[in-house]
A and B are shown apart, each in its own frame.
Chain A
Amino acid sequence: MASDTGASYGSTLRYKSVERIKAVGKHSLIGASGEFSDFQEILRYLDELTLSDHMWDDGNSLGPKEIHSYLTRVMYNRRNKFDPLWNSLVLGGVKKGPKGEEKYLGMVSMIGTHFEENHIATGFGNHLAIPILRAEWREDMTFEEAVKLVEKCLLVLLYRDRSSINKFQIAKITTEGATIYPPYSLKTYWGFSHFENPAQGAVGSW
């Protein structure tokens, strides 16, 4: 899972080092876009949930499917009260099940629309990244190949989404656990001849 680390306030880039992907329990990652304070509230709900789950001390732990189901209910019920949590949540994880390692990836919207897919994106990612992922995603990709593919999407979003910034974080979840890598930047290219002298050939006096 990858995100950029910026959080805007209208047209102001208010926070530049925000971690929008967090680990949940032992088996899942949650990523969010939208209202950051509502994401923090959701993390508080998830803390309570995982704490109660841990206190049962019954050898079971909540997997990504269960967390996704819980979040869907939370988002839908807040929508019912006309007081939504203004987020798009991405829920991913891996858990050992009866049929072996079961991986899971899903999304919940602010009004409770939810689904499971092999590739998920929020906001502009739906328009710019999903077409790339639909064309190039394969079931048998290695982690390195997946990172390259995701970076391709992030780069497109960096060029074309005004609210994105050049500072990203990748997070990985496997049966061994969650790893959230330190932030890094992508190399961008601006040396196009058109950018050298942008007014050349422009119609008008200015």
Chain B
Amino acid sequence: MAKFSPYENNGGTCVAVAGDGYCVVAADTRLSVGYSILTRDHSKICQLADKCILASSGFQGDIKALQKNLAAKELVYEHNHNKKMSCPAMAQLLSNTLYYKRFFPYYTFNVLGGLDSQGKGCVFTYDAVGSYERTGYSAQGTGAKLITPVLDNKLKSPNPLILPARDAVTPLSESEAVDLVKDVFASATERDIYTGDKLEIVVINSSGIHREYIELRKD
């Protein structure tokens, strides 16, 4: 007798890369359940504030609830503080929101990307219960294990303990970072059955937000 499970993994991969003055957030648009594809055109990306984008993979019911929850809290913040939430502030809020459900977690693997108050790119990476870290780049989701080693090779910054302190964000230009993201997704699509169909890339920089879509393998 099968027991009711409140969770399912709808698959997908999210990646974010921070640069000096820009941030690239990308996610595929495939929604799966088991061995079936439900739809090839479902966005995992949500704009929470001016300079703050959330990409989530995992259980889509929880993703939607989490994104709605955060969007509502951001609105309350705006009403109270008369300004939009900054990316680092949203980062802390996301962590607290996830930990609030520590004993019935949101099955979501999140990557938050945007510009901090100084206009520099920032990426925050999370586990399902809210443990988080600010990094220069991150991948989460079913294709993360395939993508992270490649990003490490291209983007990994030197040990944070050495002196003088070196920047965590990549010295790559915006277009080079976007090309890298396209490449890693093409690679992950080859071997991860849950990643593919279409890639949604969102770039935030000082002039605003720019969205682009590229096709991925549909098998």
Q: A76-B65, A127-B36 are in contact. Are A114 and B6 (CB under 8 A)?
A: no
- With the chains together, A79 CA to B4 CA distance in Å? 10
Contacts of A84 in B (CB 8 A): 4, 6
Contacts of B65 in A (CB 8 A): 76, 112
Q: Is there contact, CB below 8 Å, between A126 and B36?
A: yes
- With the chains together, A112 CA to B59 CA distance in Å? 9
Interface set, chain B 152-196, CB cutoff 8 A to A: none
Q: Is there contact, CB below 8 Å, between B4 and A115?
A: no
B42 within 8 A of A: yes
Q: Is there contact, CB below 8 Å, between B6 and A79?
A: yes
- With the chains together, A76 CA to B104 CA distance in Å? 14
Contacts of A109 in B (CB 8 A): 33, 61
A113 within 8 A of B: yes
Interface set, chain A 46-80, CB cutoff 8 A to B: 72, 76, 79-80
Q: Is there contact, CB below 8 Å, between A76 and B61?
A: yes
A111 within 8 A of B: yes
- With the chains together, A79 CA to B6 CA distance in Å? 6
Categorize the interface residue count of chain A. Answer: 10 to 19
Residue interface bits A113-157, CB-to-B below 8 A is 1, else 0: 111110000000011001000000000000000000000000000
Residue interface bits B28-58, CB-to-A below 8 A is 1, else 0: 0001010010110110000000000000000
B110 within 8 A of A: no
Contacts of B33 in A (CB 8 A): 109, 113
Contacts of B59 in A (CB 8 A): 111, 113
Categorize the interface residue count of chain B. Answer: 10 to 19
Q: Is there contact, CB below 8 Å, between B4 and A117?
A: no
Q: A113-B33, A115-B38 are in contact. Are A82 and B4 (CB under 8 A)?
A: yes
Measuring CB to CB, which residues of chain B are less than 8 angstroms from any residue of chain A?
4, 6-8, 10, 31, 33, 36, 38-39, 41-42, 59-61, 64-65, 104
6 pairs of A and B residues whose beta carbons are closest in the complex: A112-B61, A115-B39, A117-B39, A113-B60, A76-B61, A115-B42
Q: Is there contact, CB below 8 Å, between A80 and B6?
A: yes
Q: Is there contact, CB below 8 Å, between A113 and B61?
A: yes
Q: Is there contact, CB below 8 Å, between A113 and B8?
A: yes
- With the chains together, A147 CA to B60 CA distance in Å? 31
Contacts of B42 in A (CB 8 A): 115
- With the chains together, A114 CA to B41 CA distance in Å? 12
24 chain-A/chain-B pairs, Cβ below 8 angstroms? A76-B64, A76-B65, A79-B6, A80-B6, A80-B104, A82-B4, A84-B4, A84-B6, A111-B6, A111-B8, A111-B59, A112-B61, A112-B64, A113-B8, A113-B59, A113-B60, A113-B61, A114-B60, A115-B38, A115-B60, A116-B39, A117-B38, A126-B36, A130-B36
In the complex, what's the smallest C-beta–C-beta distance from B28 to chain A, in angstroms? Answer: 14
Contacts of B41 in A (CB 8 A): 117
Contacts of A117 in B (CB 8 A): 38-39, 41
Contacts of B61 in A (CB 8 A): 72, 76, 79, 109, 111-114
